[in-house]
Amino acid sequence: MKNQRFRDLPATEVIPLHFVEDEKQLDDWLNSLLALDTTLAAEKILQAISALEQADLKTSLKIKLLHKIHQFFPKIVNTLQKSYIDSSLPLSDQATHNVELVVWINMQLARALRQCKLKYVTLGKEQQAGLLYLSLDSLSQALLHISLSYKVPMPGFWAMCYELYARAEQANLTDITITLNVRNNESITRLFKHMLIFQLCDTQQFRCRDILMLFEYLSNASATAHILANYQPKWQAVVCMFNLNKDLPPQKINPTDAHDDLSERFITSVSVAKSMYDGLQKTTALAEQPFSNNAIRSINHEALLRALNTLGLARKRKFTRVAEKTEFTGIVGLGSLIEYLQSKTDIGLISPEPIKAQADAKPLKSARKTQFDLIPIGEEVAHHMRDNAKQGQNEQLTKLFSFGTEKSVPTQNFQRSQAAETPGKSVPLTCQFEMQDSSAKGYGLVVKLPTTQVKIGDIIAVITHKTERIEVGIVRRINQMPNQQLRLGVEVISFESELVFVSNPQQLTQGFWGILLPGLKTLKQADSLVYNSSLFKQGDIIHIKGAQNQVNYRLHKILQISAAATHMELLKCTEVSS
């Protein structure tokens, strides 16, 4: 299975920028970008880095300017990433362009800083280590956002990472403490281990927000890993390997290889897994308590368990996959599945009453028109700068603002699609898939239509052609393939499903729709419920009305929880007469 590589930066015209010639001018220009649309601001930063690379400046000044951009850019990233971290795949044109800008800018920063290191040979050891660290840090951020797009790095990415580490290793710079306004006790070795361990977590099995959480968590947890040379056979079960002279990511050891290459290095991922396991043991009891506010805690707990199992190198398939090639109709998303079943099921007339909210706030006594604007949270500075610039209250600010609005590199250089999206367009409930392989508990599916939106944790239903029986599964992994195709790894959680209305036993008209999954009685499986509501919590008694009967259940155990749906094991309390 071939994964899609992230698109490298296309060739663009470099326009000299007169306002990046010293630190003060660059500071002023960067601050002016906060008043712009963030996509346009990112495009201008990309131009500035390209201009700096080719500018005839002293290397020492160039390093200072690049460092300032490196420090400033996260302010832009925090806004840009909002367009894709909660989006389904495939991403929109705008979201794709935003994630490309984030990756390209980090890649350009890494290349520029690396070039400065090669040219500036009179640096002391701490300055050399600092330059290599900043370059590697930019690459780590590029790796993070490539992972958020469910693609793999562009050609040359890992070769550049290994080159930077090899230079640090040869000059004995790997363990020098970095003092460039970064975290305490940071070093090239620690950052490099962070990148390798993060890559080994197989991020295509996580939702974007879980990837962000995991990246942050591993910044400390990965410190327990060790990078080793001179392979010993007893390491086979506890290490992964990478080659400093090859453009390949770290991977599991092939026992048939000789491992006598002096460029090979080995990293102990199992030691990180053990450290994570010890930490999770302290929080397991808390995550399983029936608190109403433990949803986020449970999501993070499950994501860390998946990462732990992957890093432990002991993960194996429970069931054999069988290759096949069949097309079928499916449904993506719990809401779409409920809507589809409503058109096929007769449960009786149920119109859920809205859950009562707090009383509306009293209107203002004065209804006269005000001059106040509603400003989005986090954009107060940009709004204030725009307002002052428009009114001409500050001549210097107006001049700086004009810097930010100068003509940019033509957008066609970035090859951004201008296709308009039609809001409110109806989306069909069903879609077409191609099944590539299957096992007793899962499928490997390829999405046939690029318009089908999906993300990790989504409920997916398979409609059998002969019996119209609906099997229900959860999307466990996504691989972006060439030609914008998506390959889904789906875990089947039930071979039967039933639309039900869930409510409070004392308030039968207030509730929501869910999917009841009957347990296999021969295997002594309990019934379970898939829903997306915060009305009830673990341990509550609920009333379920189906097409044939009504039953009171207790929400017994969380089986799966994500932003898309909750899967809860049920305990039957009483059967209610219709």
Q: What is the pLDDT of residue 393?
A: 52
Residue 90, preceding bond cis, omega within 30 degrees? yes
Q: What is the pLDDT of residue 380?
A: 47
3-state secondary structure of 417: coil
- Residue carrying the six token digits 């059967």: 575
Q: What is the pLDDT of residue 563?
A: 81
Evaluate whether 264 touches 296 at the Cβ level (below 8 Å). Answer: no
Q: What is the pLDDT of residue 398?
A: 53
Q: What is the pLDDT of residue 428?
A: 65
Q: Which two tokens stand for residue 220?
A: 């400390």
Q: What is the pLDDT of residue 425?
A: 44
pTM of the model: 0.84
Q: What is the pLDDT of residue 315?
A: 73
Evaluate whether 406 touches 299 at the Cβ level (below 8 Å). Answer: no
Q: Which two tokens stand for residue 17?
A: 């920028």
Q: What is the pLDDT of residue 94?
A: 96
Q: What is the pLDDT of residue 18?
A: 61
Q: Which residues pair with 543 in a beta bridge?
A: 503, 552
Evaluate whether 20 touches 52 at the Cβ level (below 8 Å). Answer: yes
Evaluate whether 4 touches 481 at the Cβ level (below 8 Å). Answer: yes
- Return d(Cα 101, Cα 90) in angstroms, integer: 17
Evaluate whether 437 touches 324 at the Cβ level (below 8 Å). Answer: yes
Cβ burial of 143 (10 Å; 0-12, 13-18, 19+) is: buried
Residues 6+ positions from 262 with CB-CB distance below 8 Å:
229
The DSSP result for 323-342, as a single string, is EEEEEEEEEESHHHHHHHHH
With the C-alpha atoms ordered 40, 114, 65, 128, is the resulting torsion angle positive or negative?
positive
- Return d(Cα 566, Cα 533) in angstroms, integer: 8
Residues 6+ positions from 472 with CB-CB distance below 8 Å:
337, 459, 460, 461, 492, 493, 494, 497, 515, 517, 530
- Return d(Cα 192, Cα 325) in angstroms, integer: 41
pLDDT averages per 10-residue partition of the chain, 578 residues: 88 67 83 93 92 84 91 95 94 96 97 85 84 96 97 97 96 90 80 97 94 93 92 87 96 84 93 88 57 54 89 79 87 93 74 49 39 45 51 51 47 43 54 89 86 91 80 94 88 92 91 93 86 92 91 92 90 73
Evaluate whether 105 touches 43 at the Cβ level (below 8 Å). Answer: no
Give the helix ranges, DSSP H, for 330-394: 334-342, 380-391
How many helices (H) and strands (E) the chain has is answered by: 13, 16
Q: What is the pLDDT of residue 83?
A: 95
Q: What residue type is assigned to position 573 of the chain?
A: C
